[in-house]
Amino acid sequence: MALTDLNLYTAWYCPYAQRTWAFIEHLGLPYRNVDVDPYVKCPDWMKISRGQGTVPVVQVSRDGDTGLSVPGSIESMEYLANLKPEAEAFSSDPLKRADQKYWLGYIDRKITPSYYSVLTKAAGSTEADDARQDLETALLKLVEGVPLEHWFSGGNQPGILDFALAPFALRMALLFPHFRDYALPETTAPWQAYADWARRVTALPAFVASAPDQNTYRDRLISYYQSYAAGQGHQDA
Ligand SMILES: N[C@@H](CCC(=O)N[C@@H](CS)C(=O)NCC(=O)O)C(=O)O
């Protein structure tokens, strides 16, 4: 069996990078974390990220041979799950796996765009109201579509679906009240199940390990997202 060496390229604030970071911690795979500024498109970075220029990227060397990079949060999580199939973090059952893939796509098609809209649309605007409505509808559909006994990935252990949503759950709970005077509902059973899950997943040691310098992490995130809340995108931290 080839010796696999993993470099994980992340940016501390990035929710997509945090997915893969928390997931690799959960799987207990040895890796080297490399913090980069993905917005600086230098030739090295573009090569490592295979022209994509976004974090996360998992760079894989086998038997000392610097080989392939796997860019993309979902793609890299899938690759990592395959390195540790016994963890069942991505179902080995073909039908369940297809279903989990469907929901992974759903999170990126429906939930993360609405999350960014809620964060960036001016308070009081129709667009902001629509964004909240879309986000709530999308989240409820997930909670009702995936039996949430303990984890979205099913079973007794968190898995790929949980780690795909967790960074966004953390940011929604932190940034919406701070910038938008808004919080997701907690009044009905599905919303309570979601809120319990959000607290549980963000308290996992693997997730905490993906949020370095815990004492200042939340303040730094708030400060980083100030430009998003002002209706803009990324600004150099
Ligand atoms: N679809 C990508 C999105 C990753 C992404 O957008 N990362 C941001 C940081 S949060 C990035 O690297 N942006 C650099 C750029 O857009 O130039 C994934 O799931 O990995």
Nearest CA to ligand 1 atom 12: 54
Query: Which of 87, 114, 132 is where one domain is finished?
Result: 87
The pLDDT-based confidence of 235 (bands split at 50, 70, 90) is low
Identify whether residues 39 and 144 lie together within a single domain: no
Identify whether residues 122 and 14 lie together within a single domain: no
Q: Which of 18-22, 42-46, 95-99, 151-155 has the lowest mean pLDDT?
A: 151-155
pLDDT of residue 66: 73
Q: Specify the pTM.
A: 0.96
Identify whether residues 221 and 122 lie together within a single domain: yes
Q: What mean pLDDT do residues 173-189 have?
A: 95
Contacts (Cβ under 8 Å, ≥6 apart) of 137: none
Query: Which of 59, 87, 115 is where one domain is finished?
Result: 87
In ligand 1, which atom is closest to the CA atom of 72? 20
pLDDT of residue 234: 73
In ligand 1, which atom is closest to the CA atom of 55? 12
Residue 237 domain-assigned? no
Dist. CA 31–CA 10, nearest whole Å: 12
Identify whether residues 121 and 208 lie together within a single domain: yes
- Is the pLDDT reported for residue 158 higher than 50? yes
SS3 197: helix
Helix (H) or strand (E) holding 73: helix 73-83
Identify whether residues 75 and 170 lie together within a single domain: no
Look up the domain containing 164 and give its range: 94-229
Query: Which of 53, 87, 121 is where one domain is finished?
Result: 87
Cβ–ligand 1 contact at 11 (below 6 Å): yes
Pocket test for ligand 1, best of 8, 24, 55, 120 (most atoms within 8 A of CB): 55
pLDDT of residue 149: 77
- Average pLDDT of every residue of the chain: 93
In ligand 1, which atom is closest to the CA atom of 41? 17
Identify whether residues 144 and 213 lie together within a single domain: yes
Identify whether residues 71 and 98 lie together within a single domain: no
5 CA from centroid of ligand 1 (Å)? 23
pLDDT of residue 123: 81
- The residues pairing with 70 across neighbouring beta strands, listed in sequence order, are 58
Q: What mean pLDDT do residues 206-226 have?
A: 95
Assign residue 19 the CATH number of its domain. 3.40.30.10
**Neighbour count for residue 223 (Cβ, 10 Å):** 12
71 CA from centroid of ligand 1 (Å)? 10
> Which residue is listed with tokens 């038997």?
63
Q: How many structural domains comprise the chain? A: 2
- Asked if 49 and 22 count as a contact pair (C-beta separation under 8 A), the reply is no
Residue 234 domain-assigned? no
